[in-house]
A and B are shown apart, each in its own frame.
Chain A
Amino acid sequence: MSGHEFTSYFPNSGGIDLDDQSTNIDDKTIEELEQLASRYPQARSALLPMLHLVQSVDGRISPRGIEVCADILGITTAQVSGVATFYTMYKRRPGGRHHIGVCTTALCAVMGGDVLLERMEHKLGIHDGETTPDGTFSLDRIECNAACDFAPIMTVNWEFMDNMTPERADELIDELAAGQEVHSTRGARITSWREAERVIAGFPDGRADEGPAAGDPSVLGLRIAQEHGWHAPDPAAIPAPAEEESK
């Protein structure tokens, strides 16, 4: 031995877990996958949604899911796994009932995201990228989720959990573990990661009307403008351009 063990610089990279051949994909799933493929001018465009649907059915990107997608689209399984391993939302090991995301990109990290991640790792007894042994929670550190005016943020099953604190994060885990009703701060009632994946794949769950139109920060500028009576100019008061008048 050289005494110099190889360590990958890309942990969690690598292929699909081929040892676990279990699957729930049935004829109905295949029909729905074909339906996704038919929505696009060229069927292969449906691959990302199809892989989301595979996850919602199998709880991960399964070998059977890869075969079925390749089969429907007429491409190779290598092409499908190449795509499945590129995107961070696709999981190669079974995900938990709830997916917990903690934003640790610079701004959230500085404002408390690092503390939240540490707290969640301690609370759940797992590291980011792992799932609890009972299959209830998966934990991921996530990259900027476009909610910086609500920092620091977390997500549950890709629903926003805005303005998080360590205490609130702990409570959230307790409530979810106890099966209590939990609502996103700007979204719907929390269901499960697999149900969320089905909506993302393109099969609506009828919950679009739940939750508010906007969070307070989203309408802060609007409220201030209303208080001051500020608005864009009245179009009727804008003189028409000269060349249009002469037409």
Chain B
Amino acid sequence: MTDLLTPVMSANWADDRAWKLTNYERRDGYKALRKALTMSPGDVMGVVKDSQLRGRGGAGFPTGMKWSFVPKDNPNPKYLVVNADESEPGTCKDMPLMMASPHTLVEGVVISSYAIGVHTAFIYVRGEVLHVIRRVQQAVREAYSAGYAGKNILGTGFDLEIIVHAGAGAYICGEETALLDSLEGRRGQPRLRPPFPAVAGLYASPTVINNVESISSVPAIVLNGATWFASMGTERSKGYTLYSLSGHVRNPGQFEAPMGVTLHQLLELAGGMREGHQLKFFTPGGSSTPILTSEHVDLPLDYESMAAAGSMLGTKALQCFDETTSVVRTTLRWIEFYNHESCGKCTPCREGNWWLVQMLQKFEAGTAQEGDIEKMLDVCENIGGRSFCALADGGVACVTSAVKHFREEFEAGYHTPAWELFPYEKSALFATPPSTDEPRTAVEAHA
């Protein structure tokens, strides 16, 4: 029986100056790279395939299989792009990983590039995380100096350039084809598929795009073996992963556990919900995954069980809200996010999310009219599945799942404002006395 928690990627996060190369090496860092370079690229890919690692960025596609889609006979250079654009509301695992142990990612990049036959890799980090960018930039420089990157890596003749690239603020760039357009110096808008990036990605060349956590899982898999990794988790969701608990829980945080742990178990470790409150609803993996309720806390948090419950495992971002929270308000704020972040390329998403905001504002204000729930669901039907990418589907999932589980709160929006039913100050973590300060600019006017 595997332990309840299995820190592997996060095992060194509490170390003093964990981000430094020497400290990473002291923990067997880059040992997996040395081992990989004694194997053939095909064998390294085989290990990752056999481990049954599935993409940790949300979709859960088998990582090794994704790599194997890269055509061998394409004369163009092949590229690896790490998606470090972590922006899905609730998702907060890749940033602490890169801040505490950027070398785990860098080692994963070198091993993965070797397996796929890549000589130029990119780490696309969202722009709004200055210190994470600093740590990743420094780790890459250290890796070059130590001979783990650059020309003739560890004397094996394998060359790899690693480019750290910062984005500029756009959720949509976490979508892999939008990310590629952004990395080509364009507006980040998704591409129509096919062709898939494995065939025609960056610069129309074969490209593998993987999430930070997927690539960071590779070193331990190579070092300890596919069987070791697959000995953890459930039948079809193998290994360990980072679960992120946030919201009204007593002790929010990161928990690295085997696939299939339950929210009930994680909440116990986190000290439960904040004192005197109960769980009302949660997202299993970010706001784009349909919400679930306290009925679902004993379900294994793996790909299959979440799908069976009508949701998705997504990024394993467990945002937990207690009974003080208005579902209508929360849904409105999520849809405002999707409306703001829609890239504007596809009409159903660009216009549809805007209309959903208008409707949800009425539900929140208690001025919606009888029949507006049906109208809103009808609008959702005309958005979902009708755009190039999944952004709109994510927005629609918020609305439809909220109505499914909490229809009565939307019906209350026909006559009563959400802030009367659920006084907003009760959901906040602090009491809110009115500010007594004069505006700073007014003070300075006569300074």
Contact = CB atoms under 8 A, between A and B. Distances in A.
A246 interface: no
A107 B89 contact: yes
Interface size class, chain A: 35 or more
Nearest to A218: B96
Interface string B212-240: 00000000000111111001100000001
A108 B317 CA distance: 14
Contact of B430 (A166, A223, A230): A166
Contacts of A209: 17, 19-20, 138
Nearest to A115: B432
Given A107-B319, A149-B254, A213-B19, A199 B440 contact: no
B170 A148 contact: no
Interface string A115-141: 100010011111000001110000000
B27 interface: no
Contact of B129 (A114, A145, A150): A145
B184 interface: yes
A204 B138 contact: yes
A90 B167 CA distance: 11
Central interface residue in A46, A124, A235, by most chain B CB within 10 Å: A235
Interface in B125-142: 126-131, 133-135, 137-138, 141
A207 B185 CA distance: 27
A110 B428 contact: yes
B128 A219 contact: no
Contacts of A145: 128-129
A30 interface: no
Contacts of B135: 208
Interface in B228-266: 228, 231-232, 240, 243-248, 251-257
Contact of A166 (B8, B183, B254, B432): B432
B99 A143 contact: no
A67 B182 CA distance: 20
Interface in A196-239: 196, 199-202, 204-205, 207-209, 211, 213-225, 228, 230-233, 235, 238-239
Contacts of B289: none
Contacts of B340: 143
A165 B228 contact: no
B444 interface: yes
A196 B6 CA distance: 36
A105 B226 CA distance: 39
A230 B6 contact: yes
A87 B168 contact: yes
A68 to B, nearest CB: 15
B194 interface: no
Contacts of A165: 429-430
Interface string B166-201: 111111000000000011111110000000000000
Contacts of B164: 202
A76 to B, nearest CB: 13
Contacts of A152: 428-429
Contacts of B256: 221-222, 225
A238 B244 CA distance: 28
B127 A146 contact: no
A231 B134 contact: no
A58 interface: no
Interface string A7-43: 0010000000000000000000000000000011110
A177 interface: yes
Interface in B68-108: 77, 86-92, 94-96, 99-101
Contacts of A115: 425, 428, 430, 432
Contact of A208 (B2, B91, B138, B223): B138
Interface stretch (B292-300, B325-333, B375-383): B325-333
A182 to B, nearest CB: 14
Nearest to B173: A87
A88 B168 contact: yes
B162 to A, nearest CB: 11
Contact of A233 (B19, B96, B138, B228): B228
A196 B240 CA distance: 35
B247 A151 contact: yes
A83 B341 CA distance: 15
B10 interface: yes
A62 interface: no
Given A213-B99, A225-B5, A188 B131 contact: yes
Contacts of B359: none
Contacts of A109: 333
A232 B7 contact: yes
Nearest to A101: B128
B354 interface: yes
Nearest to B326: A110
Contacts of A107: 89-90, 246-247, 319, 321
Contacts of B100: 213-214, 218
A240 B287 CA distance: 40
B61 interface: no
Interface in B394-413: none
Contact of B130 (A105, A133, A187, A228): A187
Nearest to B324: A110
Interface in A72-94: 73, 82-83, 86-90
Given A104-B333, A110-B321, A149-B244, A125 B163 contact: no
B203 A200 contact: no
19 contacts: A48-B127, A86-B188, A105-B337, A107-B246, A107-B247, A110-B333, A132-B440, A134-B444, A144-B89, A146-B126, A149-B245, A151-B252, A151-B429, A152-B429, A159-B131, A165-B429, A208-B131, A228-B5, A231-B7
Given A123-B435, A217-B251, A224-B255, 14 more contacts: A86-B188, A106-B333, A111-B248, A114-B428, A123-B439, A126-B441, A134-B441, A213-B99, A214-B13, A217-B252, A222-B7, A222-B10, A225-B3, A225-B5
